[in-house]
Amino acid sequence: MSLGKKVLLSIVGMLLIFGFALLVWLSAEQKRTIEGQLLREAQGIYHYLVLTRLWVSEHGGVYIEEENAFRRLTPSDVVEDLAREAENGFPVTFRMAVADSANPRHVPDAFEVRAIDLLRRGDREVWKTEWTETDVTFRYAGPLVFDNECVRCHGESVKGFCGAPSREVLGCISVSLPADGPFAELARTRRDYTLYCLAALGLLAVLLYAMVRSYVLVPLRTLSEASQRVRSGDYTVRVCLKKGPEWRELGESFNDMLDSVSGQRKGLENEIDRAVTDLKKAYQELSEISCYRSEFFAHVTHDLKTPITAIKGAAEVLGKKTGGEGGEYLDIIHRNASKLSKMVQDLLDSSRIESKGLELDLEERDLAEVVEDAILMVTPLAWEKKIAIRYDVPHEPHIFPIDSPRMEQAVSNLLSNAIKFSPAGSEVWVSLESSGAETIVSVEDFGSGILESERELVFQKFFCRSGEKASEGIGLGLAIAKGIIESHGGRIWISAPDHPGTVFHFALKRKDA
């Protein structure tokens, strides 16, 4: 939801809450005003009836002529006659209600029973508004007291009437006023006010939104659009905000910031250009150095092969001429010459792999047979440490276009590494299986394992694992294995088994996959 819609909804929501609260308060005040007017009317009628009772009592009653005779009316008779007259179409009705009265006309209803109870407890008056499905009535009750005025009319015989002492509340004078008109007017007023309030609130909401849009949303949108252009790389954008001094100051600050950022950006671009130029130059120099180094190793290793071969040949000739005399020393010369020849060959292969000059003579071969040949190649090394190599030959062939000698070299390097770090009398497991579109070869040993932080480093040239002695090799075997496998389009990685040791995996993708 956009900011403008949120602001509009917030304004409308606040105005509706304010208008509803004001409507409730005005309705309550108007209701109290109506009930106050009705209460004053009922109080006037009540006091008029009380005054009438006192006047009649002061004069000993009222005599009226009926069929050439006079009948004396007591205060209660006068009030009762007035109540009967009020029932004949008069808008106000009233009656006397007496607790425990034997006269049906004076038996109190539910409101009057409650009123008599409250008046006896000390309330001066009781009133309520009664609502029915057809009309609204305002009910009022004031105390009805039998006192000296009763004695004036009825004589000493009424003293202690009903066993009540003087000024005892024995009932109430109940007044009922119709309230349909005032409350209907209240409903109309509430309806009209609601309509007027909605119209006013709608107009106010529109005006407030127009003001907020003009003085807040439009400048914010201008800043947002400018920010979007800056994000896209346009640092030439500038804003002009004229909605007030605050916005004008903010716009100037925004423009100053862009000027500063633009200047810094140009400076950074110049620095980056210089750095890129320096990096290119350094990379070119490093490439040349690497090339020189590769050429150096290639020439040195190539030149070393000739004297090493001569030493091995000379040792063999010397052994034949001496008839085996000094054979122990000749054997030392021969073993170390072979070891030196192996190192020289590894250096040469590493140099070729690094310079992308490793040539492969590809032919269709069963990878399982190549692995088996590599196992036979390292078996004497395993015998020296009494290590058993366990290999389950797969039943189906795994044909790949591979350079057999090179692949044998890679697998034998992995096996030699596993044998070297395995304890005497242990085992090395070799497996070959299909997994999806690949064939995976795994070499698992029971040695000390490889730290997780070193699993990627062991494939680097001249890297020595933790605990490995420098005399055990020059650190090219795994690097050469990785280079040969990747030259065949494969991949190599390390995992940790559920026992002490290491598992080397390499995978080749099948042609039919």
Domain boundaries, given as residue ranges, for the chain = 3-187, 235-357, 360-509
Per the structure block, which two tokens stand in for 157? 């015989």
Of the listed ranges 59-68, 84-93, 164-173, 498-507, the one predicted with least confidence: 164-173
Does the pLDDT value for residue 254 go beyond 90? no
Q: What's the pLDDT score for residue 396?
A: 87
Q: Which residues are CB-neighbours of 141 under 8 A, at least 6 positions away?
A: 97, 111, 112, 115, 116, 119, 125, 126, 127, 172, 173, 174, 175
Q: What's the pLDDT score for residue 326?
A: 62
Q: What percent of the chain has pLDDT over 90?
A: 14
Query: pLDDT tens digit string along 448-495?
Result: 888 888 888 888 877 776 655 544 556 788 888 898 999 888 999 999
166 or 224: which carries more pLDDT confidence?
A: 224
pLDDT band, very low/low/confident/very high, at 170 (cuts 50, 70, 90)? confident
The two domains 235-357 and 360-509 share their CATH topology (first three levels equal): no
Q: What's the pLDDT score for residue 163?
A: 42
Overall average pLDDT of the 33-38 stretch: 87
Q: What's the pLDDT score for residue 160?
A: 45
Strands 363-366 and 136-145, bridge-based pairing: unpaired
CB atoms within 10 A of CB 343: 16
Query: pLDDT tens digit string along 256-311?
Result: 888 887 788 788 888 898 899 889 888 888 777 766 666 666 656 656 656 766 67
Q: What's the pLDDT score for residue 323?
A: 62
The type of residue at 267 is G
Q: What's the pLDDT score for residue 235?
A: 74
Rounded CA gap, 409 and 403, in Å? 10
Of the listed ranges 130-134, 296-300, 314-318, 409-413, the one predicted with least confidence: 296-300
Overall average pLDDT of the 20-25 stretch: 82
Output Rg (C-alpha) for the chain, integer angstroms.
Answer: 58
Alpha helices in 146-244 (DSSP H): 148-154, 180-212, 218-231
- Between the alpha carbon of residue 488 and those of residues 173, 381, 391, 507, the distances in Å are 116, 27, 23, 10
Fold of 360-509: Heat Shock Protein 90 (3.30.565)
297 or 169: which carries more pLDDT confidence?
A: 169
Q: What's the pLDDT score for residue 246?
A: 78
Q: Of the segments 95-99, 152-156, 387-391, which one has the largest average pLDDT value?
A: 387-391
Fold of 235-357: Helix Hairpins (1.10.287)
CA 407 from centroid of its chain's CA atoms: 53
Rounded CA gap, 74 and 63, in Å? 9
Q: Please check whether residue 388 is in contact with residue 427, taking contact to mean a CB–CB distance below 8 angstroms.
A: yes
Overall average pLDDT of the 229-252 stretch: 79
Q: Please check whether residue 449 is in contact with residue 429, taking contact to mean a CB–CB distance below 8 angstroms.
A: no
Please tell me the pTM assigned to this model.
0.43
Query: pLDDT tens digit string along 41-61?
Result: 988 988 988 888 888 888 777
Task: Write out the H or E segment, with its range, that includes residue 175.
Answer: strand 169-178
Q: Please check whether residue 415 is in contact with residue 447, taking contact to mean a CB–CB distance below 8 angstroms.
A: no
Does the pLDDT value for residue 155 go beyond 60? no
Q: What's the pLDDT score for residue 349?
A: 66
CA 151 from centroid of its chain's CA atoms: 86
pLDDT band, very low/low/confident/very high, at 504 (cuts 50, 70, 90)? very high
Query: pLDDT tens digit string along 359-404?
Result: 788 899 999 999 999 999 999 989 999 999 999 888 888 889 998 8
| Burial of 324 per CB tally in 10 Å (0-12, 13-18, 19+) | exposed
Q: What's the pLDDT score for residue 244?
A: 76
What residue has token string 């085992």?
A: 427
Cα angle 487, 490, 492 (rounded to 5 degrees) comes to: 105
Of the listed ranges 117-121, 185-189, 229-233, 472-476, the one predicted with least confidence: 472-476
Mean pLDDT of all residues in the chain? Answer: 80
